[in-house]
Structure 1
Amino acid sequence: MTTKEVATEMVALCREGKWEECIKKFYSPDIKSIEPDGSTWGTVQGLEAIAKKGQEWQEMVAEFHSGEISDPIVAENFFSITMKSKVTMKGMDQPINMDEVCVYEVNDGKVVKEQFFYTPLPEFA
């Protein structure tokens, strides 16, 4: 698959909330995932670490109110999207808006690296 095909299919699956299917279909077993400095996770590698990170995120969220994923922008073997969501975190009374830029690197039809750009919430770092 081309990078554009991977990007288009990933975005479609994510918009449907099919995160696990997306990871199983498109992520390399050795994927590297990079969060911003000051975040909860930092850098992790491998599918098991990605799954653990996703589980920990779900455990932090009390309620998911809304989400939006942009169309991908593709350049060579990279693509980027923006993700916006409104969530109530456990221990917080009010929902918060989260906004991030996600950059993915694709090699041989598999995502080999993902990097997220956002301002970490100090109380969850």
Structure 2
Amino acid sequence: MTTQEVASKLVQLCREGKNDQAIDELYAENVTSKEPKGAQMELTEGKQAVKDKTLQWEKSIAEIHSSTISDPIVADHHFSIVMDFDATYKEHGRIKMSEICVYEVKDGKIVADEFFYRMG
């Protein structure tokens, strides 16, 4: 798949709430995932570890009040999207969040992602 095809498929699956399916289908085995400095899982390496991180995040949520995902912006082997969501977490209460997500694609698979958002 091209970078545009990967980006479009990721956005489609995430909008459908199929985050784990997106990882299964679109991520490389050796993917790296970065959260902002100081985040609990600042660096995650490997497809299964990234999937586990995603499932852990999903389990921490009591209710999602709203969620939007922008169309992707593609540049060669990279693309970015904006994710906005309003969720109530089991331990932290209700939080509204906006993040920029940047992905790198190689050989039709996501080999790296990085998330930019304000902590706290």
TM-score by length of 2: 0.94
Letter in 1 for 2:106: N
What is the aligned partner in structure 1 of residue 109 from structure 2?
110
Measure how far apart 1:37 and its partner are: 0.6
Deviations 1:20-46 (A, max 9, x none): 111111100000000001211100100
Q: In the aligned structure 2, how far is the partner of 1:40 from the partner of 1:63? A: 21
What is the aligned partner in structure 2 of residue 63 from structure 1?
63
Q: In the aligned structure 2, how far is the partner of 1:21 from the partner of 1:65? A: 22
| Aligned structure 1 segments of 4 or more residues deviating by more than 3 angstroms | none
Q: In the aligned structure 1, how far is the partner of 2:87 from the partner of 2:43? A: 23
Identical amino acids, percent of aligned pairs: 46
**How many positions carry a matched residue from both structures?**
120
Measure how far apart 1:56 and its partner are: 1.9
Matches within 5 A, 1:52-91: 52-91=52-91
What is the aligned partner in structure 2 of residue 15 from structure 1?
15
- Alignment RMSD (CA, Å): 1.1
User: Which structure would you say has the larger Rg?
Assistant: 1
Q: In the aligned structure 2, how far is the partner of 1:55 from the partner of 1:31? A: 16
Measure how far apart 1:99 and its partner are: 0.5
Structure 2 unaligned residues grouped into runs of 5+: none
Structure 1 unaligned residues grouped into runs of 5+: none
Letter in 2 for 1:79: F
